[in-house]
Amino acid sequence: MHNSTSSQAHDMGSHAAGKVYLVGAGPGDPGLLTLRGKELLQRAEVVVYDYLANPKLLRYVPKEAILIYAGKKGGGLHAYTQEGINKLLVEHAKAGRLVVRLKGGDPFIFGRGGEEIEELAVEGVDFEVVPGVTSASAAATYTGIPITHREYTASVAFVTGHEDPEKKFSAINWEKLAGGAGTLVIYMGIKNLPDITKKLMEAGRAPETPVAVVRWASTPKQKSLIGTLGTISDLVVEAGIRPPALVIVGEVVQLRHRINWFERRPLFGKRVVVTRTRVQASELVNQLEELGADCLECPTIDIQEMDDYSALEQALPQLSTYDWLLFTSPNAVHYFFRRLQLAQLDSRALAGTRIAAVGTATAGILAQYGIYADFLPEQFTGEGLADALIKQGVAGQRFLLPQALEASKVLPEKLAESGAHLTIVPVYKNLPTVSSGEELRDELSRGAVDVLTFTSSSTVRNCFALLACQDASALRQLLGKTRIAAIGPVTAATLQDYGITTHIQPQQHTIADLVRAITSHYGHDIPRPNGSFS
Ligand code: SAH
């Protein structure tokens, strides 16, 4: 992190000379970035990144850094020419900035890293290079192909297939390569595949030689196809495989059926939409991705502070007069404690009051503030909490409820009916996000979404507001075959209000249980932490 004083210094040109770091982003899986690469992203002032570098890596970059997309989609429009990129790097470095040039895979393996560095050297710009996991290595590993194997091959060659087949003198000696290396990995070879396979067979490589084609290796979109030198070109056309993809030729490909770990994960290939606030989405997304799902984060809610906290401020000095403090969401806990601190109080102010949480997630956040909830219902819903408290007897007792402005009224109404005295204090607001629902609409109408997840009634309302369908039948049509997953009965009831049926709903209303329910919907059971399966 740099502070504003140092960035001001850059603008005035008084900072030491800048530097360019050419960093390998790895093949796609963000976990395959090197530690050195991450450290540099965290310090970057300018990041110039490619189409093949996973944009998720940009989360490490400080907010105030300049991000430049340099494009370069195979065959498509280039956002910048190579000269343009070189010029950018030189300019920003000369302005005294720390520049990270983030390139897919390894910068020096078909990445034009050499050319960019030469330009920097000519201009006298300081630079360093950080290697990355090249896509050949990832494609092999993530499809279960050992790229070398003592029993099958002792050599591997990385080759570009991008050459113009009409070119009179190829720089690649396919005849020698055909028999010269046990495993061949061909980058950028999809367009010329018919020509390449033909040349290899003409040079004596057997038509039965196994071949794998891997698209978007190591990402949730990974697609792999197995054939032979004789069949693979036709298979690729049939399957409609487009770049970026790698071709792996050699006997090692046959070992794949034993070690294909990545594509065997329970949610592999499933597109799951997560509709939550950006902050909260990460837990659900992390758990789904761990199981192989391809997540689209579609934040529908922005959590915001209230404009006015006077109701809570009045209640805080008299906390000890309340018998119960009820928390019905993790955010309620965060915002309550924030106000407590601002009032220069700490958790000792809660000493005489019993504290209930609606479920384990809320209780977990309380624990972060050093408070263990006294009470947790069996059913993790507002209604479940009301029923469980009423069983204990609530008549005449005083309850303080810090909650969302838009929170459901079921809990307070039930408690009031049973004779409780309630003070309801809104501590935060759930607002629909301003972002448009275009991407989600587009994916739904293409039938590309397998599961749409909802973790509260407000995510339902906001998501459907984003989708802007005329009526229930238009909405049902847009959702098509998409499975609807709801965290609990309240959310499912809200879905029902829109005429939408819930297909997946866990018995316990936690994120982990929701993930488990989705997984078992697809026929896989994942064990609970204690080892049982239900
Ligand atoms: N420097 C990069 C390669 C850049 S050339 C590296 O080391 O991986 C671009 C080609 O790399 C693409 O056309 C494709 O053949 C291959 N490629 C890059 N990332 C890939 C991925 N995730 N899956 C499959 N192929 C990939």
pLDDT one-digit tens code per residue, 486-504: 999 999 999 999 999 999 9
Give me 421's structure tokens. Answer: 């005295």
Confidence (pLDDT) at 5 = 39
Question: If you search the block for the tokens 């802007």, which residue do you land on?
Answer: 468
Considering only CA atoms, which of 224, 281, 262 is closest in space to residue 59?
A: 281
Residues whose CB is less than 8 angstroms from the CB of residue 116 and which lie 6 or more positions away in sequence, other chains included = 22, 82, 85, 86, 89, 101, 107
**271-300+433-521 CATH choice from 3.20.20.100, 3.40.50.300, 3.40.640.10, 3.40.50.10090:** 3.40.50.10090
The backbone region for 239, taken as left when phi is positive above 0, alpha when psi lies in -120 to 50, beta otherwise, is alpha
**137-264 CATH choice from 3.40.30.10, 3.90.79.10, 3.30.950.10, 3.55.10.10:** 3.30.950.10
Confidence (pLDDT) at 267 = 96
Q: Does the Cβ of 217 fall within 6 Å of ligand 1?
A: yes
- Is the model's pLDDT at 293 over the cut of 80? yes
Considering only CA atoms, which of 120, 78, 84 is closest in space to residue 99?
A: 120
Answer positive or negative: Cα dihedral of 241, 242, 244, 246: positive
Calculate the average pLDDT of the chain: 89
- Is the model's pLDDT at 277 over the cut of 70? no
Contact 89, 125 (CB under 8 A): yes
Task: Check for a shared fold between 8-132 and 306-430.
Answer: no
**Ligand 1 atom 13: the closest Cα is on which residue?**
188
Burial degree of 7 (CB within 10 A; 0-12, 13-18, 19+):
middle
Burial degree of 94 (CB within 10 A; 0-12, 13-18, 19+):
middle
Measured CA to CA, the distance from residue 347 to residue 363 in angstroms comes to: 15
Q: Does the Cβ of 294 fall within 6 Å of ligand 1?
A: no
Give me 316's structure tokens. Answer: 């805080």
- Is the model's pLDDT at 75 over the cut of 80? no
Burial degree of 261 (CB within 10 A; 0-12, 13-18, 19+):
exposed
Q: What is the mean pLDDT of residues 41-60?
A: 93
CA angle 426, 430, 432 (to 5 degrees): 155
Residue 244 CA to ligand 1 centre (angstroms): 6
Q: At what angle do helices 438-445 and 457-467 cross, to 10 degrees?
A: 80
Q: For a substitution probing ligand 1, which of 135, 188, 191 has the most ligand atoms within 8 Å of its CB?
A: 135
Considering only CA atoms, which of 108, 91, 5, 1 is closest in space to residue 48?
A: 91
Considering only CA atoms, which of 432, 388, 376, 436 is closest in space to residue 406?
A: 432
Q: What is the mean pLDDT of residues 382-389?
A: 95
Distance of CA 291 to the CA centre of its chain: 12
- Is the model's pLDDT at 462 over the cut of 90? no
The 10 Å Cβ neighbour count of residue 491 is 25
**Ligand 1 atom 24: the closest Cα is on which residue?**
245
Considering only CA atoms, which of 71, 91, 88 is closest in space to residue 80?
A: 71
The residue type found at 265 is R
The 10 Å Cβ neighbour count of residue 345 is 15
The residue type found at 529 is P
Peptide bond into 244 cis (omega under 30): yes
Q: For a substitution probing ligand 1, which of 72, 106, 214, 246 has the most ligand atoms within 8 Å of its CB?
A: 246
Cα separation values, 185 from 21, 113, 127, 177, Å: 27, 20, 30, 11
Confidence (pLDDT) at 164 = 66
Query: What are the domain boundaries of the chain?
Result: 8-132, 137-264, 271-300+433-521, 306-430
Confidence (pLDDT) at 10 = 41
Digit-coded pLDDT (tens) for 334-379: 999 999 999 999 989 999 899 999 999 899 999 999 999 999 999 9
Measured CA to CA, the distance from residue 278 to residue 282 in angstroms comes to: 7
Atom of ligand 1 nearest to the CA of 162: 13
Topology annotation, domain 306-430: Rossmann fold (3.40.50)
- Is the model's pLDDT at 204 over the cut of 80? yes
In the Cβ-directed half-sphere of 519, how many Cα atoms lie within 13 Å? Answer: 26
Confidence (pLDDT) at 534 = 41
CATH number for the domain formed by residue range(s) 8-132: 3.40.1010.10
Residues whose CB is less than 8 angstroms from the CB of residue 337 and which lie 6 or more positions away in sequence, other chains included = 369
Digit-coded pLDDT (tens) for 399-449: 999 999 988 899 999 999 999 999 999 999 987 776 668 889 999 999 999
Q: Does the Cβ of 142 fall within 6 Å of ligand 1?
A: no
Give me 428's structure tokens. Answer: 């935060």
Q: Which residues pair with 502 in a beta bridge?
A: none
